[in-house]
Amino acid sequence: MTDEPSTPSSPTPRPRRRRVATPAVQVAPEFGAAEARDEPLGEAVIPPDVPAAAVAPALTPTPPVFATAVDVARGPVGGIRAQDVRVRTGMVGGIAAGRAGVELGLVGGVAARTASFSRAIVRSVVAQDVHLEQSFARVVVANRVQAGPATGIGLVVARRFDGEARILVDWRSALALGAVLGAFAALFRVARRRA
């Protein structure tokens, strides 16, 4: 035994970990590759003993994946981007497609070349050709609109309209209403400045 004082051993410092954002690819396997996104879902924790060169491939953004045809049956989907989209008894937040068809469904917005709706509710549609059958659409902006009986449309801006739909406001009425509201707003401002 020695009479030398012993020094307490200091704790070894813990190695620091690097945090790296990982790209996310969201693909619905049951509907095909609907859309890929480059948004980070979270952060991956990489131990310090992994070289940075091994992490670099995970940081490269993945290119978007687009499907040619997507068929949605009985389910909610946030958004779909494809060439041909068919929705049956489903809910979709948004559709961007060449051809879109919705039967017994709810859709937030549609941007397509041709769109057809049968017994559906649609918030807004921007398309070249639109066909509505026993459906309701809040806003339709199209080159040509065909509407069957028992169809309701809130606002229509179309070059050609054929059918028996009930329209709340067409584009001419919307312009007239906007002009009247603009005149009232101008009169209100003038009266407010004088007071």
Q: What are the tens digits of pLDDT across the range 100-113? A: 999 999 999 999 99
104 & 186 share domain: yes
39 & 71 share domain: no
| DSSP-assigned letter for residue 49 | T
Residue 175 lies in a domain: yes
Helix (H, G, I), strand (E, B) or coil at 168: strand
Residue 10 lies in a domain: no
185 & 143 share domain: yes
Sign of CA dihedral 183, 184, 185, 189: positive
Task: Indicate the average pLDDT of the chain.
Answer: 76
53 & 77 share domain: no
Is pLDDT at 40 greater than 80 in this prediction? Answer: no
Range of the domain at 37: 16-65
171 & 131 share domain: yes
Q: What is the pLDDT of residue 68?
A: 83
Sign of CA dihedral 10, 14, 16, 19: negative
190 & 105 share domain: yes
CA end-to-end span of the chain? 100
Rounded CA-CA distance 115/105 in Å is: 13
| Inter-residue contact 102 to 117 (CB < 8 Å) | yes
183 & 93 share domain: yes
Rounded CA-CA distance 109/112 in Å is: 10
Considering 65, 86, 106, which residue would you say is the last residue of a domain? 65
| Chain CA centroid to CA 121, Å | 16
pTM of the model: 0.57
119 & 109 share domain: yes
Q: What is the pLDDT of residue 35?
A: 43
- In this prediction, residue 194 has a pLDDT band, given cuts at 50, 70 and 90, of confident
Rounded CA-CA distance 84/105 in Å is: 16
59 & 76 share domain: no
Please name the residue that has the structure tokens 């704790």. Answer: 11
99 & 162 share domain: yes
Residue 2 lies in a domain: no
101 & 176 share domain: yes
Rounded CA-CA distance 13/54 in Å is: 25
Is pLDDT at 148 greater than 60 in this prediction? Answer: yes
What are the two backbone dihedrals, phi and then psi, of residue 95, each rounded to the nearest 5 degrees? -130, 130
97 & 178 share domain: yes
Please name the residue that has the structure tokens 């978007």. Answer: 64
Domain count, the chain: 2
